[in-house]
Amino acid sequence: MSTAEALLLLKAFEESCNGWFWSTDEGGHVTYLSGSMCDLLGGGPEAFLGYEFTRLFIHVDEDSSGRRTLPFLLSKHSPFERLTVRAAVADNERCWSLSGRPQFDESGRFLGYRGSAVDVTEHRKSSEHASLLAQYDALTGLPNRRRMAEVLETNLRIARHQNTSCAIMLIDLDRFKQVNDTLGHPAGDQLLKQVAERVVRIVGHQESVFRLGGDEFQVVLRNNDNRGILGDLATDIIRSISQPYLIEGSRCIIGASIGIAVAPLDGDSKDELIRNADLALYASKGAGRGRFRFFSSELLKDAEDKRTLEEDLREALARGEMSVEYQPIVNARTNRMTGVEALVRWRHPVRGDVSPALFIPIAEEAGIIAQIGEWVLRKACADAAGWPRKLRVAVNVSPIQFSSERFPATVVNALAHSGLAPNQLELEITEGVFLSQSADTDTIFSALKELGVRLALDDFGTGYSSLGYLQSAPFDKIKIDQSFVRAATLPDSRNSAIIAAIVALAEALDMETTAEGIEYMDQLNLIRELRVSHAQGWIYSRALSSADLSEKLETGDWVIEPSGPARQRSARQSVYRRVGVIHDGRYEQAIIQNLSESGALIVGAIALNPDTLLVVDFGDGQLAFARVIRSDGRKHGVAFEQHLVDDGNGGLCTSHRVSPYLLSTMGLPTPSNPVVEDEGVSPTPLEKLAERLGLTLAPRRSLQHSSGSDGSGAGAYGDTATTIRDLSARYLDMFEGDEHSRERAKRDLRNHVLPRFGQLRLDEVSEADLFAWLAAKVEVEACPAGTDDRLHALLNQIWNLAVKLGLPGAESNPLERHSMGEWRAARHEALTAESALKLLEAAQSSSNRELKFILAMMMITGVRPGELLKAEWDHIDVEERHWTLPEIEAGRSRQAQLGDGAIRLLAALPRPAGSRYLVSNPRTGQPYRSIQGSWEAVKVKAGLPHVELDDLRYCAIEANEILARLRLSAEEAL
């Protein structure tokens, strides 16, 4: 090929705009640039001769080491290939793969570079799209399992380096399979999308929520180990997911179970943390679903115990270890026994009596529940046939057992072999049998009724309640679950209204009712008033063997006089639990009883004086500071300095945990070193430990200021009460009739305010303390955005109450002097107008076309980046000049006023067709997940690498200057 032909080929290549050529001199100045590239840069070839080559381009693939930047590569005087760059002009998205070779003369002197570039725009878009698909779930748009692994590894590495924490939540949907099976997979996909939206709304950050696959989701929360906050968040997620869905015209109800693990105490590696969260999830599902559970070291042991128990259970029937006992069911008016419920018991040769709540779920999972259920049915029928008088016997039927087409034949066989009359047999069926309702279900119901046996709907209202069940299934009785009975007589309980509604429904359908689990006389009196026909519980009798029951029936009808405590006590847990007690340089073993969230009764420690400070070691890193409020020999009532929180399993736990090694490093006694010499110094080791944990302890004071005698920590309040805790109790009393607001305020007080300020007097808390603590909630503790504003409002109301009551230390309200925004602005050094304009100028050359508008809107309105990225056009009322900002946490939004500058900027915002979002990605029409990458490039280009995105909200610049820099006059905008 001749030189002329080669030149023609090169010229054709240049004119195709798919590539171009370049050359520089030894100083890096342009000596040649293809015309197609000059046109793109906005000038002719002569315009760029002598221009510094590196200033023409923006680096796209710059790595963190800086070794792949264009200036660095040119300075090396070495060949380079495939450096991706973009022209430094506005609105340009084309990317080029740049290559170059250094040129030298015969003496080896560097002369410059010659090189070429190839258009890789489409290839790069394809790669970015493939990368997006590889890390994000195509259905929900959430990050996927692969992305989760990367994020979790990063967060754990940061936690180790900064000595902080990282929590994960595994979320598994309950009853999702039924939606897929009944409505089809497209409906299931729609349901998963809605679930994802609800979880993101609760958590507040889409990049913290991951879809692992199927119906499994995961939440990763950095720097959060407060189990009170985590438990409340889990509760909110479960409650939100459990609300009804409308899918293709059908109403669907599902649930969720959650397992929680927190690094480093629950594991400091990704695999270990996920395994332990999975164990916690398994435990929450095993405990009844629809709840959360924290990981504990006991779960590892429980998993092994469960495996062993399953093996033993398979042999229990053959070994004769199982038996059936019978609990009387009594006419609530006459106290005459009308029937019994058959209850299976298992006496293990080593473990002793094993609770049915433990072995029944294992039997269901192991697939042996039908075998056990059939044996119980046969045994109950045979026993009942041999009693001296005819009694109705109720037998529980598992949904798995009921779904078998052989079940009616099994009932027939049991009745035939025992000789029991069919109307003496009552089968108790839970609502779970209706989940897979089909023609077979209806056939089984019909067959059982034709036999003449009675049917009872068990645990009504606790499962998958639907009045349609009562219409289609021929039940004779409704059993009211004991969860409704237990709290029915407590103040503010609505359970009595629920029971009354169930009774009215049963009477209208000509059904009997039985209330389970009655233990107190006031409960019995209530269910009698509500016209419940039958009662069952320990107030009449515990379960009896067949022989003991037969003996009771020898004399005829058995009338049982109720016997039990007069009134139900407030919720407290009667426990028998070994704990450690640390005080006065000693570590002692003790027993804890009557545990509540605010106090406990400790038995076994040596005599302690009232007001003694001690630490209760619950094990597993759970340390609770407490003060003795009363003492009787070796029995001590204590009030916890920080309330315990729900552990998700019906128990209580501390909100934080500490390393077991911390005690010895702080000079405190431990189980292995139970006595440490008390040096009598101040502060004491316990006070140092409290300071290390960030806990403010109550000063020693007289008993008139101490907590109530029941250890609740509530304390009497009045005009002399001056602590934040006492004042908070009075504040909560103001919410009478608004239980939702009261519960929300109570949660914020328990999780945030009281641990820091609860034991302090009003005059011990300064304005600087309050505002610094509020700011740290979001900036340091990584609480959801808006937490500081919400807590500011809460404290402001509490202080106003104190001022109104004229309490000591409350002569004025320090929180009324400044809003959170004013305080932040005063604390931050305001960004100068000059710096702001530099940033806007740099943003105009960003490949992100919306970035300049985002930055300008933050400067003018002071909104948060997260709020702006989620904002929609429908949130803005131009006539009223207010902007309803999107929810920054579940159920809460706020409004911002819009000035002239904001209105003019909104009018100039580009609005892609079909997009409802204020600022959106032009390619997808969806909001940006993050602008951090674009922002980092802009601040470096502006020469302001130290500026943070949030600093733009406190900018000392007029709106007109911002609009002028964006080249938006008032007339153009309007």
Q: Across the beta sheet with 292-294, what order do the strands follow? A: 209-213, 216-222, 166-174, 255-263, 292-294
Which DSSP string do the residues of 865-912 spell out, in sequence order? HHHHHH-BGGGEETTTTEEEEEEEETTEEEEEE--HHHHHHHHHS---
pLDDT single digits (tens) 579-635: 899 888 888 888 887 888 888 889 887 778 888 889 999 888 899 999 888 888 788
pLDDT at position 889 is: 42
Give the lowest-confidence range in 79-93, 119-133, 673-687: 673-687
Give the lowest-confidence range in 275-279, 514-518, 573-577, 610-614: 573-577
Distance in angstroms (rounded) separating the CA atoms of residues 312 and 92: 71
526 & 618 share domain: no
Q: When comparing pLDDT for 866 and 437, which is higher?
A: 866
Give the lowest-confidence range in 93-97, 705-709, 931-935: 705-709
- Rounded (5°) CA angle 751-752-756: 120
pLDDT single digits (tens) 735-748: 766 677 788 888 88
Give percent of the chain with pLDDT exceeding 70.
86
> What CATH number corresponds to the domain at position 551?
3.20.20.450
221 & 277 share domain: yes
Residues in a beta bridge with 347: 353
Q: What is the mean pLDDT of residues 359-366?
A: 88
Check pLDDT > 60 for residue 705. no
pLDDT at position 709 is: 35
Which residue, chain included where needed, has tokens 């304390």? 715
143 & 198 share domain: yes
| pLDDT band at residue 443 under the 50/70/90 scheme | confident
pLDDT at position 306 is: 82
113 & 151 share domain: no
Q: What is the mean pLDDT of residues 512-537?
A: 92
399 & 544 share domain: yes
pLDDT single digits (tens) 101-140: 999 999 999 999 999 999 888 888 887 777 777 889 989 9
**739-748 and 724-732 helices, crossing angle to 10°:** 170
Q: Is residue 464 part of a domain?
A: yes
Q: When comparing pLDDT for 974 and 410, which is higher?
A: 410
Six-digit token string for 277? 């969260």
Q: When comparing pLDDT for 213 and 829, which is higher?
A: 213
Which residue, chain included where needed, has tokens 């495939």? 82
Q: Which of 571, 689, 685, 676 is nearest to 624 (CA)?
A: 689
142's CB contacts (< 8 A; 6+ apart) are 136, 196, 200, 206, 209, 210, 211, 217
269 & 148 share domain: yes
Q: How far is CA 707 from the centre of its chain?
A: 32
pLDDT single digits (tens) 154-169: 999 988 888 889 999 9
Q: Which domain holds residue 622?
A: 573-673
pLDDT at position 66 is: 43
Check pLDDT > 60 for residue 713. no
899 & 940 share domain: no
Which DSSP string do the residues of 901-945 spell out, in sequence order? HHHHHHHHS---TT--BSS--TTTSSPPS--HHHHHHHHHHTT-T
Six-digit token string for 309? 């128990």
Q: What is the mean pLDDT of residues 143-150?
A: 92
Domain end, chosen from 522, 555, 588, is at 555
Which of the given ranges, 377-381, 823-827, 915-919, 939-943, has the highest pLDDT on average? 377-381
Helix (H) or strand (E) holding 316: helix 297-316
Give the lowest-confidence range in 334-348, 358-372, 454-468, 776-790: 776-790
Q: What is the mean pLDDT of residues 820-831?
A: 55
**pTM of the complete model beyond 0.85:** no
894 & 968 share domain: no
Do residues 905 and 967 make contact, with C-beta atoms less than 8 angstroms apart? no
| Single-letter amino acid, residue 471 | Q
pLDDT at position 610 is: 81
pLDDT at position 41 is: 80
Asked if the peptide bond before residue 683 counts as cis, ω within 30 degrees of 0, the response is yes
Check pLDDT > 60 for residue 564. yes
pLDDT single digits (tens) 280-318: 998 888 777 889 999 988 888 877 888 889 999 999 999
Q: When comparing pLDDT for 99 and 778, which is higher?
A: 99
pLDDT single digits (tens) 219-237: 999 888 888 889 989 999 9
Give percent of the chain with pLDDT exceeding 90.
28
**Helix ranges restricted to H, 535-639:** 546-552
Q: Is residue 188 part of a domain?
A: yes
Check pLDDT > 60 for residue 269. yes
Q: What is the mean pLDDT of residues 350-379?
A: 91
Q: What is the mean pLDDT of residues 923-942?
A: 78
Which residue, chain included where needed, has tokens 């015309």? 35
Q: Is residue 113 part of a domain?
A: yes
pLDDT at position 852 is: 87
333 & 283 share domain: no
Do residues 266 and 276 make contact, with C-beta atoms less than 8 angstroms apart? yes
Q: When comparing pLDDT for 686 and 103, which is higher?
A: 103
Total number of domains constituting the chain: 6
Q: Which of 286, 342, 375, 951 is nearest to 649 (CA)?
A: 286
Which DSSP string do the residues of 717-773 spell out, in sequence order? -STT--BHHHHHHHHHGGGTT-HHHHHHHHHHIIIIIHHHHTTSBGGG--HHHHHHH
Average pLDDT value for the chain: 82
pLDDT single digits (tens) 920-929: 877 677 777 7
80 & 46 share domain: yes
Q: Is residue 804 part of a domain?
A: no
Domain end, chosen from 909, 931, 946, is at 909
Q: Is residue 53 part of a domain?
A: yes
Distance in angstroms (rounded) separating the CA atoms of residues 600 and 627: 10
pLDDT at position 817 is: 62
pLDDT at position 437 is: 52
412 & 542 share domain: yes
Q: Is residue 704 part of a domain?
A: no
Which of the given ranges, 62-71, 515-524, 753-762, 963-972, has the highest pLDDT on average? 515-524
Check pLDDT > 50 for residue 720. no
Do residues 95 and 60 make contact, with C-beta atoms less than 8 angstroms apart? yes
904 & 937 share domain: no
| pLDDT band at residue 208 under the 50/70/90 scheme | very high
Q: What is the mean pLDDT of residues 535-554?
A: 92
Domain end, chosen from 89, 123, 157, is at 123
Q: What is the mean pLDDT of residues 52-72?
A: 69
Q: When comparing pLDDT for 424 and 63, which is higher?
A: 424
Six-digit token string for 482? 């004991």
pLDDT at position 818 is: 60
Q: What is the mean pLDDT of residues 732-760?
A: 78
pLDDT at position 575 is: 59
324's CB contacts (< 8 A; 6+ apart) are 342, 343, 344, 345, 376, 379, 380, 383, 546
The 3-state DSSP class for residue 829 equals coil
Give the lowest-confidence range in 57-71, 441-455, 487-501, 639-653: 57-71
Q: Is residue 785 part of a domain?
A: no
Q: Is residue 748 part of a domain?
A: no
Q: What is the mean pLDDT of residues 691-718?
A: 48
pLDDT at position 678 is: 57
